[in-house]
Amino acid sequence: MRNIGIIARREIGSYFGTPLAYVFIVIFLALSGALCFYLGGFLFRGQADLEPFFVYHPWLYLLLVPAIAMRLWAEERKTGTIENLMTLPISTPEAVLGKFLAAWLFCGIALTLTFPVWITVNILGDPDNGVIVASYIGSFLMAGAFMAIGSCMSALSKNQVIAFIIAATACFLFTMSGLDLVLNFFRGWSPEWLVTTVASMSFLTHFNSVTQGVIEFRDLVFFVSLITFWLFANVVIVDLKKAA
Amino acid sequence: MTEMIKLTGLTKRFGQITAVDAVDMTVESGEVLGFLGPNGAGKSTTMKMVAGFLEPTAGSASVCGWDIQRDPVALKKTLGYLPEGAPTYGDMTPQSYLRFIAAIRGFDGAERQRRVDAMVDRIALREVLHQPIETLSKGFKRRVGLAQTMLHDPPVLIMDEPTDGLDPNQKRHVRSLIREMAAEKAIVISTHILEEVEAVCTRAMIIARGKICADARPDELRSRAWNHNMVLITADAGDEATLMKAIGDLPEVGTIDVAGRSGDTVRLRIQPAGREQIGPRIGEFVRSKSLPVRELFIEQGSLDEVFWSITTDDGKQDSEHA
């Protein structure tokens, strides 16, 4: 546990030691605000809620989370620092978790900084703050799932651009898997249970149910087990490919 | 003296290529082992396996009794490892980087800062302590890597080309650091700078194509050179015939020939017939007969020659003919 904390602190420190953190936060805030006000029609729909704000989060994460995740392992392998890291007295799961938690926490910081929207909606009307809290939690969990996928993909390649593209594609498939775009691909040939399984993997479905204000146990389990699975895969890939 | 590093049949294959082929070796405390070999001989791969970065395909490695497969974390605690090129996080400063390493190595609070400070002074990093590592010169970058390797005062140090790319003064500094630590540690360094082996190592090991070809003290290795014990004599050109005749008749002398001429002087090269020293015998002979010799020089043989003859096919044939 101690080592996970130390690694996470170093990672967070390096986000804020470079322009990365500031660029990311500014763009995240600008985009989430713009989408909410212009596309979502926040001011004109006559409802005091944050639905037009949260509804764009999956798409925002689709672009921005792989951008954070792509460097996690690809950069270590490219610069050779992975040889230092993995010969320190730590285990691979500790390294993977430390890096992941730092990146996830960083997303959490960016998400927290959207609080003016929450204040605004409370000034303008009388929203259901329970729903908003649930939506924030759901959004954070979804960011974690995107990040776990991205972290795992980053371990696959030394090249950050490749890592970004693979991660964004994988995240896209998970986001869309409830829609016909993905499901039609499976429908023709695969058994019904597979189609249902794929459909149940959809981030959109789970996230939407959370943003209704009900944090259901199965949605929690979905995101947590997805994170666990991808981090496990991440550990395996790091061990296999660290020296390649 | 205790056995600190032990490799048994250590093997690494990448697909069809065998990078390290059943290497056996032990290193004891107090030894500085110089790991020599051409590029691609398997030096780095061997070191990476001992440091726990690469999994061996076969065989085993242990450091201070900890097996690399069974207790990797315990093994890594007893080890200081400097990877080739000394990679570090460029966006950190030496201060923050060394603090991070010290924390991972289990030091806290005041002890952590004391360790970092001691290492910074020892390795002369004070002046760049708060600059990002990526802005530092190569020499400073390498020193940050060395500081990280030695921070926890490990009983075993493995350093892959610790002086590569440093200027002569920096090389000297690093070598003196290694010598200072040598007494109470087991140290393995890889290098292809042969003078370095003579300067710091108590033992030299030559590896080629994944196999160990030689394992001896540096001076023993040198005595295997074809020109070891060769005597060179400089004399006036006019005395050439006299000297060739007089010295060539000695029973200890194998061959005598002209190595070169310049102006009115000539250099004669005398090979011994056997393995014994012939320098003193020839010196004495020259004095007693008052032969017209200007200068007499005993060749020690060079590691370069030995290295070349062991690691190349050309060299092997050459040394067989010699």
Task: For residue range A207-239, list pLDDT tens digits in order.
Answer: 888 877 777 788 888 899 999 999 999 999 999
CA distance B26 to B52: 17
Dihedral sign from CA coordinates of A211, A212, A213, A219: negative
- Within its chain, how far is the Cα of A233 from the centroid? 16
Res A243: pLDDT? 66
- In angstroms, the separation between the Cα of residue B32 and the nearest Cα of chain A is 21
Q: Decide if B88 and A14 are in contact by the 8 Å CB cutoff.
A: no
Six-digit token string for B164: 């590569």
DSSP conformation letters of B135-181: GS-HHHHHHHHHHHHHTT--SEEEEESTTTT--HHHHHHHHHHHHHH
Chain A residues inside the 8 Å CB shell of B90: 79
Averaged over A81-100, what is the pLDDT? 94
Residue A39 or B154, more confident? B154
**Does B227 score more than 90 pLDDT?**
no
Q: Decide if B53 and A90 are in contact by the 8 Å CB cutoff.
A: no
Mean pLDDT, chain B, rounded, equals 86
Res A86: pLDDT? 93
Res B320: pLDDT? 46
Task: Note the pLDDT tens digit of each residue in B112-151.
Answer: 999 999 999 988 889 999 999 999 988 899 999 999 999 9
Task: Note the pLDDT tens digit of each residue in B188-197.
Answer: 999 878 888 8
Res B195: pLDDT? 82
Q: Decide if A83 and B53 are in contact by the 8 Å CB cutoff.
A: yes
Pick from B130, B175, B122: which is nearest to B151 by CA?
B122
Q: Beginning with the edge strand found earlier in the chain, give each strand of the sheet holding B66-67 in spatial order.
A: B17-28, B3-14, B58-63, B66-67
Residue among A6, A17, A80 whose CB faces B83 most closely: A80
Q: Decide if A14 and B77 are in contact by the 8 Å CB cutoff.
A: no
Q: Decide if B83 and A88 are in contact by the 8 Å CB cutoff.
A: no
Task: Note the pLDDT tens digit of each residue in A132-150.
Answer: 888 999 999 999 999 999 9
Residue among B51, B92, B148 whose CB faces A14 most closely: B92
The dihedral over CA atoms of B129, B132, B138, B143, expressed in degrees to the nearest 10, equals 40
Q: Decide if A14 and B73 are in contact by the 8 Å CB cutoff.
A: no
Res A218: pLDDT? 83
Res B314: pLDDT? 57
Averaged over A177-194, what is the pLDDT? 80
Residue among B74, B76, B91 whose CB faces A14 most closely: B91
Residue B24 or A176, more confident? B24
Res A101: pLDDT? 97
**Does B322 score more than 50 pLDDT?**
no
Six-digit token string for B253: 């002398």
Q: Considering the entire predicted model, what is its pTM?
A: 0.86
Residue A161 or B218, more confident? A161
CB pairs under 8 A between A and B: 65
